[in-house]
Chain A
Amino acid sequence: MGTRLWKDPVNIIITGVGGQGNVLASRILGNALTAKGYSVTIGETFGASQRGGSVMSHLRVSEKGAWSPQIPRGGADVVVALEPVEALRVLVRYGNPGVKVVANTRSIYPVGVISGEQNYPAMEDVRAWVAELSSASWFVDATDAAMRLGGPIYGNIMMIGALAGTGALPLDRGTFEAVMAATMPGPKLAANMEAYDIGVAMVA
Chain B
Amino acid sequence: MSNLLNGKPGESRLFMGNEAIARGALEAGLNIAAGYPGTPSSEIIESLARLPKEAGVYVEWSVNEKVALEVAAAASFAGLRSICVMKQNGLNVASDFLLHLTGSGTRGGILLIPCDDPGALSSVNEGESRAFAKLVEIPLIEPGDFQEAKEAVKWAFELSETLRQIVMVRSITRLSHASGSVVLGEMPKREAKAAFRHNGFVLDPMEGPVLSAPVTYRHDLQQDKLKKAKELFETSPFNTYQGPEKPELLIISTSASSLYAKEAVSLLGMEGRVGLFKLATTWPLPSKLMAQMLGKAGRILFVEEVMPFTEENVKVLAAEMAGTLGVKTFFGKRDGTIPMTGELNPDIVTAALAKIFGIAWTPQPPDYAQKAGQKAFFGAPGRDLTFCPGCPHRASFYSIHSVLARDAREGFVCGDIGCYSMAVLPSGFSTLKTLHSMGSGTGVASGFGKLGPFGLNQPVVSVCGDSTFFHAAMPALANAIHHKADILMVVLDNSGTGMTGFQPHPGLSRDAQGNEVPALDIAEIAKAMGATVRVSDPFDVPGTQKIMHGLLDNVPGVKVLILRQICALSPEKKGKRKFDVMVNPEVCLGESCGCNRLCTRIFRCPGLVWDKARGKARVDEVICAGCGVCASICPVGAIMRVEAE
Indicate whether A66 sits within 8 Å of B604 (C-beta atoms), given known contacts A52-B383, A91-B376, A111-B386.
no
Chain B residue contacts of A52, Cβ below 8 A: 383-386, 388, 606
* A49, closest chain B residue (CB): B122
Chain B residue contacts of A45, Cβ below 8 A: 121
Q: Does A88 contact B (CB under 8 A)?
A: yes
- Are A51 and B422 touching (Cβ within 8 A)? yes
- Are A91 and B372 touching (Cβ within 8 A)? yes
Q: Does B146 contact A (CB under 8 A)?
A: yes
- B-contacting 9-mer, from A116-124, A157-165, A191-199: A116-124
Q: In whole angstroms, how far apart are the Cα atoms of A52 and B375 in the complex?
A: 22
Q: Does A115 contact B (CB under 8 A)?
A: yes
- Are B259 and A69 touching (Cβ within 8 A)? yes
- Are A89 and B376 touching (Cβ within 8 A)? yes
Q: Does B246 contact A (CB under 8 A)?
A: no
Q: Does B371 contact A (CB under 8 A)?
A: yes
Chain B residue contacts of A86, Cβ below 8 A: 380
- Are A46 and B383 touching (Cβ within 8 A)? no
Q: Does B39 contact A (CB under 8 A)?
A: yes
Q: Does B608 contact A (CB under 8 A)?
A: yes
Chain B residue contacts of A88, Cβ below 8 A: 372, 375-376, 379-380
Chain B residue contacts of A114, Cβ below 8 A: 600, 604, 606, 608-610
A200 shortest CB reach to chain B, Å = 23
Q: In whole angstroms, how far apart are the Cα atoms of A38 and B375 in the complex?
A: 36
Q: Does A187 contact B (CB under 8 A)?
A: no
- Are A42 and B368 touching (Cβ within 8 A)? no
Chain B residue contacts of A129, Cβ below 8 A: 375, 379
- Are A111 and B174 touching (Cβ within 8 A)? no
Q: In whole angstroms, how far apart are the Cα atoms of A91 and B371 in the complex?
A: 10
Q: Does B295 contact A (CB under 8 A)?
A: no
Q: How does the 8 Å CB contact mask read for B563-589 relative to A, with 1 for contact and 0 for none?
A: 000000100000000000000000000
Q: How does the 8 Å CB contact mask read for A60-94 relative to B, with 1 for contact and 0 for none?
A: 00000111111111110000000001101101100
User: In the complex, which residues 103-128 of chain B have their Cβ closer than 8 Å to any Cβ of chain A?
Assistant: 121-122
Interface size on B, residues (CB 8 A): 61
Q: Does B277 contact A (CB under 8 A)?
A: no
Indicate whether A50 sits within 8 Å of B14 (C-beta atoms), given known contacts A75-B363, A95-B364, A113-B381.
no
A18 shortest CB reach to chain B, Å = 8
Chain B CB count within 10 A is highest, among A51, A75, A119, A133, for A51
- A-contacting 9-mer, from B260-268, B401-409, B517-525: B260-268
- Are A46 and B177 touching (Cβ within 8 A)? yes
Indicate whether A42 sits within 8 Å of B180 (C-beta atoms), given known contacts A34-B14, A51-B422, A88-B380.
yes
B319 shortest CB reach to chain A, Å = 32
Q: In whole angstroms, how far apart are the Cα atoms of A121 and B379 in the complex?
A: 6
Q: In whole angstroms, how far apart are the Cα atoms of A61 and B133 in the complex?
A: 35
Q: In whole angstroms, how far apart are the Cα atoms of A54 and B383 in the complex?
A: 7
Q: Does A7 contact B (CB under 8 A)?
A: no
* B377, closest chain A residue (CB): A92
Q: In whole angstroms, how far apart are the Cα atoms of A97 and B260 in the complex?
A: 24
B259 shortest CB reach to chain A, Å = 4
Chain A residue contacts of B440, Cβ below 8 A: none
A49 shortest CB reach to chain B, Å = 10
Q: Does B256 contact A (CB under 8 A)?
A: yes
Indicate whether A115 sits within 8 Å of B381 (C-beta atoms), given known contacts A27-B179, A69-B178, A72-B267.
no
- Are B388 and A51 touching (Cβ within 8 A)? yes
- Are B385 and A51 touching (Cβ within 8 A)? yes
Chain B CB count within 10 A is highest, among A96, A114, A120, for A114
B280 shortest CB reach to chain A, Å = 14
- Are B178 and A111 touching (Cβ within 8 A)? no
Q: Does A150 contact B (CB under 8 A)?
A: no
Q: Does B13 contact A (CB under 8 A)?
A: yes
- Are B263 and A68 touching (Cβ within 8 A)? yes
- Are B376 and A50 touching (Cβ within 8 A)? no
Q: In whole angstroms, how far apart are the Cα atoms of A182 and B643 in the complex?
A: 41
Q: How does the 8 Å CB contact mask read for B594-606 relative to A, with 1 for contact and 0 for none?
A: 0001001100101
A29 shortest CB reach to chain B, Å = 10
Residues of A whose CB lies within 8 Å of any CB of B are 17, 27, 30-31, 34, 37, 39-48, 50-54, 65-75, 85-86, 88-89, 91-92, 95-97, 109-121, 125-126, 129, 132-133
Residues of B whose CB lies within 8 Å of any CB of A are 12-14, 39-40, 121-122, 145-147, 174-175, 177-181, 256, 259-260, 262-263, 267, 345-347, 350, 363-365, 368-369, 371-373, 375-376, 378-388, 419, 422, 427, 569, 597, 600-601, 604, 606, 608-610, 612
Q: A30-B14, A48-B385, A113-B381 are in contact. List 8 more A-B contacts (CB 8 A).
A: A44-B177, A68-B259, A68-B263, A69-B256, A110-B384, A114-B608, A115-B604, A120-B381
23 contacts between A and B (CB under 8 A): A39-B180, A39-B181, A43-B174, A44-B178, A46-B40, A47-B39, A47-B121, A52-B385, A52-B606, A53-B383, A66-B145, A68-B256, A73-B363, A88-B372, A95-B372, A109-B609, A112-B382, A113-B381, A114-B610, A121-B380, A129-B375, A132-B375, A133-B375
